[in-house]
């Protein structure tokens, strides 16, 4: 049996799990006297909301965490797993928690720590500035960099493959009275 095509993998997605540093952020760490600053893309947040409207489960899976990550997950209504260095095992546990098969889970990563999760996900996605080993293992390498709308790029493409993007756009326009 041949491997599924990228389009087939995209059509099956029912859950999206994202690394945080380097995927939802640009990977830079900014320290101040009172703590750490992380910058998140509004475009990515909107993409996550679109995925939720399509009925997908969403999770952030990170080794680091911190108050900014907790706040962003809460704002978006996203499940958060912090302190996870064994991401392959954590991804399998998330699939079980969400009651979805692993082959319906998309995982977005950027660095070596993400490789075990990418190897288990039905769709492994690398941001444009990912490490070469991550790009080599990915089913799909995005045009956008982490922290610069990469999640939105992926979500819109997957929703389009599932023929859900047009209806979501029409519903949004109708709700806004356009």
CATH of the domain at 33: 3.40.50.1000
Mean pLDDT of 100-125: 98
Residue 153 lies in a domain: yes
Could you say which DSSP state residue 104 is in?
Answer: G
Q: Which residues pair with 109 in a beta bridge?
A: 126
Number of domains in the chain: 1
Residue 152 lies in a domain: yes
Residue 138: domain span: 6-175
Helix 165-175 × helix 42-53 angle, to 10°: 100
Residue 143 lies in a domain: yes
Tokens 């399998």 correspond to 92
Residue 83 lies in a domain: yes
Residue 150 lies in a domain: yes
Q: Which helix (H) or strand (E) holds 122?
A: none
More confident position, 123 or 36: 123
For residue 176, pLDDT over 90 is answered with no
Count the neighbouring beta carbons within 10 Å of the beta carbon of residue 46: 17
Lowest mean pLDDT among 41-45, 64-68, 72-76, 112-116: 64-68
Whole-structure pTM value: 0.94
Residue 1 lies in a domain: no
The answer to whether residues 58 and 159 touch, using CB atoms and an 8 Å cutoff, is no
């Amino acid at each position: 049996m041949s491997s599924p095509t990228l389009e087939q993998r995209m059509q099956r997605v029912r859950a999206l799990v994202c690394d945080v540093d380097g995927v939802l952020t640009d990977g830079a760490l900014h320290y101040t006297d009172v703590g750490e600053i992380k910058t998140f893309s509004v475009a990515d947040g909107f993409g996550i909301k679109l995925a939720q409207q399509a009925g997908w489960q969403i999770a952030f899976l990170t080794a680091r965490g911190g108050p900014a990550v907790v706040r962003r997950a809460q704002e978006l209504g996203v499940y958060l797993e912090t302190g996870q260095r064994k991401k392959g095992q954590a991804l399998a546990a998330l699939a079980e928690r969400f009651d979805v098969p692993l082959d319906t889970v998309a995982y977005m990563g950027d660095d070596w720590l993400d490789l075990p999760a990418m190897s288990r996900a039905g769709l492994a996605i690398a941001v444009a500035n990912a490490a070469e080993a991550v790009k080599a293992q990915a089913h799909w390498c995005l045009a956008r960099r982490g922290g610069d709308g990469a999640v939105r790029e992926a979500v819109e493409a997957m929703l389009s493959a599932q023929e859900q993007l047009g209806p979501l756009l029409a519903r949004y326009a109708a709700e806004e009275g356009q």
